[in-house]
């Protein structure tokens, strides 16, 4: 599933194409997770004012509301110059613009494109209302993160994945951050100390920054807006490296299942 780094890479890729352009036509293919919320024709002649990210959502600001775009399990947002035309196979939403076209390519159709009057109204308010603090926000401190951990009875890794205390830390990045912070993924969140929470927040920020720099992770379907792949999956320290030697202590990396998700860790380095 595309996580925060992949969505941020996508945002940076499509922003130059979108900003200031008028929408000439909007196209809908097969149904996605939620309905668009307006007739595609109502988007015509609107102008794109901004392209932002909130958690795993792209928030495209228009002069007639906002479009929320979620890449789902297998989606990619592809930007092209030149005329658009009809949607192709696995393309389920598209915009034809004055300077090119945008297409949501999503073979499994778990993604979504939703229109709302603003980011704080309608379906946008419902979808964004449950998104936790941004990992790079100065308002997210070790103290606030630690306080959230103390209120929880679950293990630290599933809590990170839930996205309530900090958003966008997907499966790959949670395993990597917990390794860097020296915290075993099965540890109860309430037993994580303030010092460990401080190390974990720093690790989350480092891992996400490195992933964005590497263009995200392309394990299966994810592609950049230009169709190229991300490379962070080749740089992981523990994720996907079961039985390989830990780069710190040489002990074999282990893999367990937590909530149907694969978790990778070093039993010697992480306590």
Q: Which residues are catalytic?
A: 2-3, 56, 261
The three-state secondary structure class of 45 is coil
Dist. CA 242–CA 266, nearest whole Å: 9
Q: Where are the alpha helices (DSSP H) in 77-193?
A: 122-129, 142-150, 156-162, 171-181
Dist. CA 203–CA 255, nearest whole Å: 20
- Supply 180's token pair: 């860097």
CB-CB contact of 182 with 271 (8 Å): yes
Residues 6+ away with beta carbon under 8 Å from 1:
71, 72, 73, 74, 170, 171
Residue 50 sits at φ, ψ, to 5 deg, of -155, 155
């Amino acid at each position: 599933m595309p996580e925060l780094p992949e969505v941020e890479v996508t945002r940076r890729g499509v922003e130059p194409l979108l900003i200031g352009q008028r929408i000439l036509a909007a196209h809908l293919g097969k149904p996605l997770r939620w309905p668009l919320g307006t007739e595609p024709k109502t988007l015509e002649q609107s102008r794109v004012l901004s392209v932002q990210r909130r958690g795993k959502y792209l928030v495209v600001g228009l002069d007639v509301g906002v479009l929320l775009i979620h890449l789902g399990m297998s989606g990619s947002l592809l930007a092209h110059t030149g005329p658009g035309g009809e949607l192709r196979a696995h393309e389920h939403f598209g915009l034809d613009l004055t300077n090119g076209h945008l297409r949501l390519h999503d073979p499994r159709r778990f993604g979504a494109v939703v229109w709302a009057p603003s980011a704080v109204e309608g379906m946008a308010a419902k979808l964004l209302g449950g998104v936790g603090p941004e990992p790079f926000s100065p308002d997210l401190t070790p103290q606030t993160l630690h306080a959230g951990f103390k209120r929880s009875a679950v293990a630290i890794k599933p809590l990170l994945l839930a996205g309530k205390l900090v958003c966008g830390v997907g499966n790959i990045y949670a395993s990597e951050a917990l390794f860097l912070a020296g915290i075993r993924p099965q540890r109860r969140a309430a037993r994580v100390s303030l010092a460990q929470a401080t190390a974990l927040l720093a690790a989350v920020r480092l891992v996400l920054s490195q992933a964005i720099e590497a263009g995200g992770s392309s394990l299966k379907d994810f592609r950049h807006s230009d169709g190229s792949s991300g490379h962070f999956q080749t740089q992981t320290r523990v994720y996907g490296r079961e039985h390989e030697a830990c780069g710190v202590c040489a002990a074999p990396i282990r893999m367990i299942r937590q909530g149907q998700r694969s978790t990778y860790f070093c039993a010697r380095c992480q306590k």
